[in-house]
Structure formats: structure tokens, C-alpha cells
């Protein structure tokens, strides 16, 4: 048994766990494990309510596979429907108990404590359930503690849902912006998609985090957003640009940065950085700022490679499409000159995955 002091300490630890972890599943796992220890239960489960099917889906249940149960049955269902805590001291002699789950899992439920998880507007988010109090039955004190933990849990679920929605919206806006830039160009959306996918692949090989891989895949397609600021006369010129025209063309990097940069949005910050740096060269001879080596961000160094590879293997108003092998040969020749040699090695190692994207998304 824990003392009140120890119980308070454990509750305070929750705050730290929630703030440190981004993944909802891992927060819920920690919550369930803490709750089990603190109220001396054999097992704790967190169910999330699915309004589409009117079911409760177990997110965390120690040692057993996820289950779906009707939100209108069983003690968890009662807690969800009534939005009140339910304590059951002898499951098999209680009308609220639904033995179907035990039949499936082979578990023998004796006592149950079920607390509803409610959002700020008192809508049901799920149920926090503890099973089989060790050597005893659940008390009102256990119920109070689980209620407290459930308040934390409910806000973690609510925050995660909001975060998902926000990210969804951001992704949509960014994809729309990418299409807008393409509209100006004569190229297909396949081109921007390929640059995103090649970049994600290279980021993964380089060992960037999942979040960074996702970010580059999403934002690399916008590297040429600044081309909407370049006159069609130059953009669509069938032949070679003269020096003055090429100087104008070069401004698309800074224009793209200015267009995309947003202090409050990490995706748009990365998108802006990529737009700014995608024509910098490893040896310092690129534009607009002549950055050299690792002065160019990893995102800029990656997209420098994937953009040129895709430009070479595509038809442009001013050039024919090079073959797959010719383009790889060019990257190899430019290793340490135009491109980061470490990244070129990784890109060439991934030749077959690159070829798969190249074949799948042909113009
Ligand atoms: P882009 O067509 O997307 O090309 C991106 C980059 O791929 C180019 O950046 C260049 O580094 C590489 N690249 C593309 N085609 C070739 C090629 O035939 N040979 C070689 N060695 N590299 C190639 P860059 O040069 O900074 O050009 C930026 C953008 O300026 C190009 O984007 C394109 O929109 C435009 N541009 C460049 N040169 C010409 C040109 O001669 N005529 C026209 N109409 N546009 C051009
Ligand atoms: C785009 O279509 O926006 C990208 C064009 C390019 O990379 O050449
Ligand atoms: C230029 O036309 O001056 C340079 C363009 C290029 O080489 O891609
Ligand atoms: C990063 O891991 O995000 C940057 C590493 C690098 O610039 O090489
Ligand atoms: Fe560009
Ligand atoms: Fe490009």
C-alpha cells in the first residue's frame, strides 16, 4: 500500500511524463502503469470512445491484445453512458458486468473500478478501468485517485486530438501551396511529389528523426515556390537563358524564402529554408549566398541533390530528359563540388529505391 505522501509524488510524476512525451500511446501506457501501481490493481485499461461505431476501444491493457466493446454494455459501458464512476466488488454477481471479454481473454475478473474520461464540455472521451484490486476490493479512496488520474488522461487525449487536427490542417495548406507553385510552372505534380519522396528517402538514410523525415517529405516539394515571382517570358523560355535572365531566375530562391517563412510554423520555416538553400553548392559556388559545406542545412543539402536529379531526368522547355544512369553519373561527378559527398554515397547506395520512385511516378 502507498501512503498519501507517496501517492501525491506519483501524481506529480504524471505531469512530467505528459510534458515530455508527444506520443499519446506512450502517455496512456505510463498512465495505466502508474494507476495500476498506485491503487494496487492487477490490471488497468484505458478505453477510447469511438463515436462512429459507438464502441470503446482499449488503447492500453497490460498483457492483452486491443479489444473493442459496445459502449452500451458492461461496467465500462455503464461508466461511459452515465458519465459516473462505477465500483463493482463481485463481478460475476453484478448485473452491470459483461462476461464476454473474460471469455475472449481467459482472464477472471473479480472487482472493477471504472471512471469515465470526459472532455471540457463533459463529452465522453473514453473510460479508465482498473481490474482486480489485490487482496481486497476497490474503495472510494481508490475511486478518487483514479478520478484525478483520469483528469490528466482526458486532457492528454484532448490535446493529442487537437494536435492531430492541427497537423492535418497544416498538411492540407502546405499541399495546396505546393500545387499553386506548380501551376506557374509547366511541370506536373508528379515532379514535386518525386522530389518529396527522394528527399524523404535520403533523410531516412542519413538518420534524421521520423519527424524530420516527415517534414522534408512535406516541404521539399515547395522548393521552387519562388518561381511564381519570375516572369513567364523567362520561366518558359525554350532555349538557354542569357546572363541577365539567369540572374533574375536566381532570385526565385530568396523570393521563395520570403513567401514561405512563418515565425510560428515549423513546417513553413523548413520549407522557407529549403527554398533559400536548394541552389547552394557544397564547394561554396552556389546561390544566393554562396554558403559552403555544413553551413548549408541538412535539408538544403538533401534537396540540392534530389532537385537536380529530378530536373536532369525530366524534360524542361530548355532540355531533354537524361537517362536514369546519366543522371546518377552526374551526381557522382559533382560529389564534393555541387553536392555533399556523404549524401551522394547514401543516394547511390539507395539506387534501387530511387529507381522504384522514378518508375512509379513517371511523367
Ligand atoms: P530546374 O529546371 O528545376 O533545374 C534545377 C537545377 O537542376 C538547375 O539549377 C541545375 O543545377 C540542374 N540542371 C537542370 N538542367 C540541367 C542541365 O541540363 N545540365 C546541368 N548540368 N544541370 C542542370 P539552376 O541551373 O540554378 O537553374 C534554376 C532554374 O532556372 C531551373 O530549374 C530552370 O527553371 C531555370 N533555368 C536554368 N537554366 C535554364 C535555361 O537554360 N533555360 C531556361 N528556360 N530555364 C533555365
Ligand atoms: C515546381 O514545379 O514547382 C518545381 C519545378 C522544378 O523543380 O523545376
Ligand atoms: C545559364 O544559362 O547561364 C546557366 C544555366 C545552367 O547552366 O543551368
Ligand atoms: C540535423 O540533424 O537536423 C542536422 C544535422 C546536420 O546538419 O548535419
Ligand atoms: Fe530552384
Ligand atoms: Fe527545382
Per residue in 217-242, pLDDT (tens digit) is: 989 988 988 888 888 889 888 889 99
Instruction: State in Å: Cα 192 to ligand 3 middle.
Output: 21
CB 173 within 8 A of CB 340: no
CATH architecture of the domain with range 170-360: Orthogonal Bundle (1.10)
Chain-centroid distance, C-alpha 97: 38
Asked if residue 289 has pLDDT above 90, the reply is yes
Q: What does DSSP say about strands 41-50 and 124-133: parallel, antiparallel, or unpaired?
A: antiparallel
Does 189 or 297 have the greater pLDDT score? 297
Residue of 127, 144, 148, 160 whose CA lies nearest to 59? 127
pLDDT score recorded for residue 260: 85
Q: What percent of the chain has pLDDT over 90?
A: 60
Asked if residue 311 has pLDDT above 80, the reply is yes
Residue of 283, 268, 333, 281 whose CA lies nearest to 307? 281
Ligand 2, atom 6, residue with closest C-alpha: 224
Q: CB burial class (10 A; 0-12, 13-18, 19+) of residue 353? A: middle
Which of 34-38, 151-155, 277-281 tops mean pLDDT? 277-281
Quick one: which ligand is closest to 294's CA? 4
pLDDT score recorded for residue 63: 60
Per residue in 155-187, pLDDT (tens digit) is: 888 887 777 777 777 777 777 666 666 555 555
Instruction: State in Å: Cα 349 to ligand 4 middle.
Output: 20
CATH architecture of the domain with range 4-159: 2-Layer Sandwich (3.30)
pLDDT score recorded for residue 1: 47
pLDDT score recorded for residue 14: 56
Asked if residue 108 has pLDDT above 90, the reply is yes
pTM of the model: 0.65
Mutate to test the pocket of ligand 2, among 182, 253, 312 (most ligand atoms within 8 A of CB): 182
Instruction: State in Å: Cα 183 to ligand 6 middle.
Output: 14
Per residue in 10-61, pLDDT (tens digit) is: 555 655 555 555 577 878 888 898 899 989 999 999 999 999 999 999 887 6
- Tell me the domain boundaries of the chain: 4-159, 170-360
Amino acid at each position: 500500500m502507498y501512503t498519501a505522501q507517496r501517492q501525491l509524488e506519483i501524481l506529480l510524476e504524471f505531469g512530467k511524463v505528459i510534458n515530455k512525451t508527444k506520443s499519446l500511446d506512450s502517455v496512456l501506457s505510463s498512465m495505466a502503469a502508474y494507476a495500476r501501481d498506485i491503487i494496487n490493481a492487477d490490471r488497468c485499461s484505458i478505453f477510447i470512445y469511438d463515436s462512429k461505431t459507438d464502441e470503446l476501444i482499449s488503447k492500453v491493457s497490460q498483457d492483452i491484445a486491443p479489444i473493442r466493446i459496445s459502449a452500451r454494455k458492461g461496467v465500462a459501458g455503464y461508466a461511459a453512458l452515465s458519465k459516473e464512476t462505477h465500483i463493482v466488488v463481485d463481478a460475476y454477481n453484478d448485473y452491470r458486468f459483461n462476461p464476454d471479454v473474460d471469455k475472449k481473454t481467459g482472464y477472471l475478473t473479480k472487482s472493477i473500478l471504472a471512471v469515465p474520461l470526459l472532455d471540457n464540455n463533459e463529452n465522453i472521451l473514453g473510460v479508465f478501468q482498473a481490474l482486480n484490486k489485490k487482496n481486497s476490493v476497490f474503495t472510494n479512496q481508490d475511486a478518487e485517485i483514479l478520478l484525478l488520474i483520469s483528469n490528466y488522461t482526458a486532457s492528454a487525449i484532448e490535446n493529442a486530438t487537437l494536435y492531430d487536427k492541427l497537423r492535418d490542417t497544416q498538411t492540407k495548406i502546405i499541399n495546396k501551396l505546393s500545387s499553386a507553385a506548380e501551376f506557374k510552372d509547366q511541370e506536373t505534380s508528379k515532379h514535386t511529389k518525386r522530389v518529396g519522396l527522394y528527399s524523404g528517402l535520403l533523410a531516412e538514410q542519413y538518420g534524421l528523426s521520423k519527424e524530420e523525415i516527415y517534414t522534408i517529405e512535406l516541404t521539399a516539394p515547395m522548393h521552387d515556390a519562388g518561381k511564381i515571382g519570375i516572369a513567364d517570358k523567362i520561366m518558359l523560355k525554350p532555349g538557354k537563358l542569357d546572363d541577365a535572365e539567369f540572374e533574375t531566375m536566381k532570385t526565385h530562391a530568396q523570393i521563395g524564402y520570403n513567401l514561405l517563412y512563418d515565425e510560428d510554423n515549423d513546417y513553413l520555416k523548413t520549407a522557407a529554408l529549403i527554398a533559400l538553400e536548394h541552389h547552394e553548392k557544397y564547394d561554396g559556388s552556389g546561390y544566393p549566398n554562396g554558403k559552403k559545406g555544413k553551413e548549408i542545412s541538412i535539408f538544403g543539402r538533401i534537396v540540392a541533390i534530389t532537385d537536380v536529379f529530378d530536373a536532369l531526368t525530366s524534360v524542361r522547355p530548355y532540355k531533354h530528359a537524361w537517362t536514369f544512369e546519366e543522371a546518377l553519373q552526374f551526381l557522382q561527378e559533382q560529389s564534393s563540388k555541387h553536392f555533399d559527398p556523404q549524401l551522394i554515397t547514401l543516394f547511390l547506395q539507395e539506387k534501387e529505391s530511387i529507381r522504384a520512385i522514378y518508375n512509379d511516378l513517371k511523367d
